[in-house]
Amino acid sequence: MKFDTPADINPIDQLRVVGRATDRIDGRFKVTGTAPYAYERHDVVQNPAYGFVVGAAIGKGRIASVDLRAAEASAGVLAVVTADNAGKLAKAGRNTAKLLAGPDVDHYHQAVAMVVAETFEQARDAAEKVKVDYVAQGGRFDLAEARADAPLAGSGYWGEAATSVGDFQGVFSAAPVQLDATYTTPDQGHAMMEPHATTARWDGDKLTIWTSTQMVAWDAGDIAKTLNIKRENVRVVSPYIGGGFGGKLFLRADALLAALGAKAAGRPVKVALTRPLMFNNTTHRPATIQRIRIGAARDGRIEAIGHESWSGDQPDGQPETAVNQTRLLYSGSHRMTAMRLATLDLPEGNSMRAPGEAPGMMALEIAMDEMAEKLGLDPVEFRRRNDTQVDPEDPSRPFSQRQLVQCLGIGAERFGWNKRKRPGQAREGRWLVGLGMAAAFRNNLVTPSGARVRLDARGIVTVETDMTDIGTGSYTIIAQTAAEMMGLPLDQVAVSLGDSDFPVSSGSGGQWGGNSSTAGVYAACVKLREAVARKLGVPHEAARFTEGFVEADGKRASLASLAADGDIEAEDKMEYGDLAKKYQQSTFGAHFVEVAVDSATYEIRIRRMLAVCAAGRILNPKSARSQVIGAMTMGAGAALMEELVVDKRFGFFVNHDLASYEVPVHADIPHQEVIFLDETDPTSSPMKAKGIAELGICGVAAAVANAVYNATGVRIRDYPVTLDKLMRGAPA
């Protein structure tokens, strides 16, 4: 099905199932421990062996020699895999660095070997006996040092690396009110609960991997390319994932080494990366340095806005696209953005929790607050005055929906924004109290997505698609979509996900998964409705599907009876025309935060948070709320805690475990509230939905930082906002 005209009224608009707050149908499996995760597939492999990965002990250099004799002689050892015996390996296009080092080492903890043994303990013991001699080389590990000669990034999915409209430099220089400030965000890690893990089995020349991945089709294609085998000989299965956040978008070392280990040992192999390897071996969010310049008239109208960002990655990597939102969020006739990319020898930087807008808004929304203060304007009012209903870089493109001003207004009223005082003026005993806010913005992306649906004689519709559920509720919204389309109760729909034998879906990531995958199910259900109508002998346009029956032209039959003599099956995918080019499709919101700061210790406590979101039709308000409050919590972590500390001598992240990489917990935020505006976007998909998950994080960190400033009068531009930085800036 091709979606190239805005959606008209369709079966989803009935909202009998879609749009209702619904418990996640996978929830009971997870809370009872019966959801099969990748490392726990005891049901699919017999007598598995265990792999333990050895990571490189240098940040840059080469392997001079590897001595495996002691490891191979250890109890229970079946095989040791290295680049020397792994065979010729390619580098998949989605991997920036090789997944198995040798002879060159590209980054610290890049895999250099894996020991396969009868038990995990034996594999771990033997791995400690692998002796690797390295020749270390000087690496580039400091973004600040590399900034000076960092070139413009190349073009990519983010568009051009630099944009320019009007005369930014001239108008900014002449603006009556100016801001020129630099902000930094640190390297950050994913720290999901389930590690990167894989169980691999070979059956002749056919490979099956049960792995924890967000993108099943990507992994299947990339492991086939890496191993130089046919794509049809690879099956990837990933029905349950214990968190991804972008860290499981791409093929990683656990999957490759499990496959290599299973081949070498001649039996199935399980591999799970240890927590330190998750931080240094897999991907992370790269640090940024961001310079923002805003020039405004005295009435608060932005005349010139410029945003430059520096980030780093391995050779042939990609930038952190931190200027994305500045290209679209606020008005201003004279504009400039630029992304520069330094070559660094740190572990690979890549997508993490709203890449681009999340770190970009951390800077932009502090700058907007600073500019509002210079102008003597309330921060909410300043943002209102600079709203735009068209793409400010291309005014011929209107936004398909844009309710930013409504989000700001509703949020300010609900939060009690009018009680906000001047910086440092609100106090409760020893606590300094502050209110902060920020706009929320995340682009809406749509991706082709397919599904197969089958009606059986029990009247049950089964949906099959390789879509994944990373804890976001994919099972449920897909079931809701099929139930709505076929006129069935939710318990008459069965959903099977995460198998490369199923039709290729959008996968989970980039806030595109929910809308795109359900649109693919919609397309398949349209075909199934047509097939059912033909079976009844009525035109499908007139057929009505309700309560397990279909009727039209005086004919009526149960779905079960129509499939009595054999299953009725349909398959299709949703593809997209150029509506996203004609209309700028984005999601909007507003975040409000109250903090308290101890006046003696400068300890920060978040008291309450509010998010107001406009993100198209909300398919399941219950799971959508869960996603947003989870994202708000992540934003709080980015603001106050999260930082991968780089050892700039040796090029590794020092705090590479859950004891030293701090993330917020429930007790850190006692009250969170989410409001969804009533909105549909017919230019997005037949679901009239858009993404919601990542909108919840974009802007949160700045709202927290702005609240801390309002409480203390100390402005911190270098994340995370920690008490030592506040103390340094505090008045005597």
State the catalytic residues.
694
First vs last Cα of the chain: how many Å apart? Answer: 67
List the one residue out of 226, 210, 205, 219 whose CA is nearest residue 270.
210
| Cα 251 to Cα 92, 218, 354, 478, distances in angstroms | 8, 8, 19, 25
* In the block, residue with structure tokens 């920060």: 604
Q: Please give the distance of CA 198 from its chain centroid, rounded to a whole number.
A: 21
- Whether residue 389 contacts residue 398, with contact meaning beta carbons closer than 8 Å, is answered with yes
CB atoms closer than 10 angstroms to residue 64:
10
Residues contacting 606, CB < 8 A, separation 6+: 593, 594, 595, 636, 640, 668, 669, 704
- Whether residue 306 contacts residue 391, with contact meaning beta carbons closer than 8 Å, is answered with no
**Cα distance between residue 37 and residue 29, in whole Å:** 11
| Cα 573 to Cα 119, 481, 524, 585, distances in angstroms | 44, 14, 7, 21
- Whether residue 473 contacts residue 440, with contact meaning beta carbons closer than 8 Å, is answered with no
| Ramachandran quadrant class, 372 (left: phi over 0; alpha: psi -120 to 50; beta: rest) | alpha
- Whether residue 131 contacts residue 70, with contact meaning beta carbons closer than 8 Å, is answered with yes
Starting at the edge strand that comes first in sequence, how are the strands of the sheet with 206-211 ordered?
A: 77-82, 111-117, 49-55, 269-272, 197-203, 206-211, 234-237
**Cα distance between residue 410 and residue 406, in whole Å:** 6
- Whether residue 728 contacts residue 646, with contact meaning beta carbons closer than 8 Å, is answered with no
- C-alpha dihedral sign at 92, 98, 102, 106: positive
* In the block, residue with structure tokens 């792999």: 51
Q: Element (H or E) spanning 216, and its range?
A: helix 216-227
What six digits make up the tokens of 725? Answer: 């930085």
Q: Element (H or E) spanning 653, and its range?
A: strand 652-653
| Cα 512 to Cα 467, 515, 528, 579, distances in angstroms | 11, 6, 24, 16
**Cα distance between residue 700 and residue 672, in whole Å:** 12
**Cα distance between residue 336 and residue 163, in whole Å:** 6
- Whether residue 513 contacts residue 467, with contact meaning beta carbons closer than 8 Å, is answered with yes
**Cα distance between residue 624 and residue 512, in whole Å:** 14
CB atoms closer than 10 angstroms to residue 582:
14
